[in-house]
Amino acid sequence: MVDTGFDAGFFVRWMVAAAGLVEQEAGRLTELDSAIGDADHGTNMQRGFAAVVKTLESEPPATPGAVLVTAGRQLISTVGGASGPLYGTLLRRAGKSLGEASEVTVAELQAGLRAGVESVRELGGAAPGDKTMVDALLPGVEALGTSLDAAAGAAEEGALATVPMRAQKGRASYLGERSIGHQDPGATSSALLFAALAEVAR
């Protein structure tokens, strides 16, 4: 499967699977966010991805890049929290870097997501170790070079690794030491994105 490219249909299925996992894990995301944030991450992400699915299914874009750009725009418009512009920027930037190609390889997807993560870091100013979504996204993107399953595993490990970190960005950073010992909600939902990708490729 690595030799064949992924088409727009695959990317739509990826977003639908991500929406499914977000739906399934919404309670846990909100619970994690109630420990160090404002207890809305699950509901925000649910609203955002539901809007993404609705748009993609009513007007399926023709290319993988267009799927991600459309999904990113929807997230920016509908999420209502910082994760909206952050995830929106991730997908939109990745989508733009995929260009007009009707099929993309894993390597192209990796390059696109790498550019997306770079934009997320510019937007939010987060560095690795700051206890943010970047801590799951970076290892996930790097492990795409091995396999999609490896990427899902690496992103999940990255999310777990945020537990002992002290938050340096966003509302959680105001808690100082008290942010230590909790898994970051954004890193957790970022890992779901990679889990969904591995799921649809199986």
Partner 1 sequence: MSGEDRVVGVVLVSHSKAVAEAVAELAVGLTGDGPKVPVAAAGGTPDGGLGTSAELIASAAREVDRGAGVALLVDLGSAVLTVKALIAEGDELPADARLVDAPFVEGAVAAVVSASAGANLAAVVATAEEAYGYRKR
User: Residues near 139 by Cβ (< 8 Å), separated by ≥ 6?
Assistant: 154, 155, 157, 158
Q: Which of 55, 89, 132, 190 binds partner 1 (CB under 8 A)?
A: 89
Q: Which is nearer to partner 1, 125 or 181 (CB)?
A: 125
Q: Which of 19, 36, 71, 82 binds partner 1 (CB under 8 A)?
A: 82
Which of 36-44, 106-114, 153-161, 178-186 is the region at the interface with partner 1 (rule: CB under 8 A)? 36-44
Query: Distance between CA atoms of 13 and 202, rounded to whole angstroms?
Result: 12
Query: Distance between CA atoms of 169 and 143, rounded to whole angstroms?
Result: 25
Which of 1-9, 71-79, 179-187, 193-201 is the region at the interface with partner 1 (rule: CB under 8 A)? 71-79
Cβ atoms of residues 21 and 190 within 8 Å: no
Sites for partner 1 among residues 161-190 (CB under 8 A): 170-171
Sites for partner 1 among residues 97-156 (CB under 8 A): 123-124
Q: How far is the CB of 75 from partner 1 (least distance, A)?
A: 9
Which of 80-88, 104-112, 151-159, 190-198 is the region at the interface with partner 1 (rule: CB under 8 A)? 80-88
Sites for partner 1 among residues 4-33 (CB under 8 A): none
Query: Distance between CA atoms of 63 and 135, rounded to whole angstroms?
Result: 29
What is each CA distance from 153 to 38, 53, 77, 80, in whole angstroms?
Answer: 28, 25, 30, 29
Which of 27-35, 86-94, 137-145, 189-197 is the region at the interface with partner 1 (rule: CB under 8 A)? 86-94
Question: How many amino acids of this chain bind partner 1 (CB under 8 A)?
Answer: 21
Sites for partner 1 among residues 37-56 (CB under 8 A): 38, 40, 44
Contacts 24+ apart (CB under 8 A), 96-100: 96/65, 96/69, 97/65, 98/63, 98/64, 98/65, 98/68, 99/63, 99/65, 100/63, 100/65
Q: Is 160 in the site for partner 1 (CB under 8 A)?
A: no
Look up residue 100 and give its two tokens: 């007009």
User: Residues near 35 by Cβ (< 8 Å), separated by ≥ 6?
Assistant: 182
Residues of the shown chain interacting with partner 1 in the complex, contacts defined by CB under 8 A: 38, 40, 44, 73, 76-78, 80-86, 88-89, 92, 123-124, 170-171
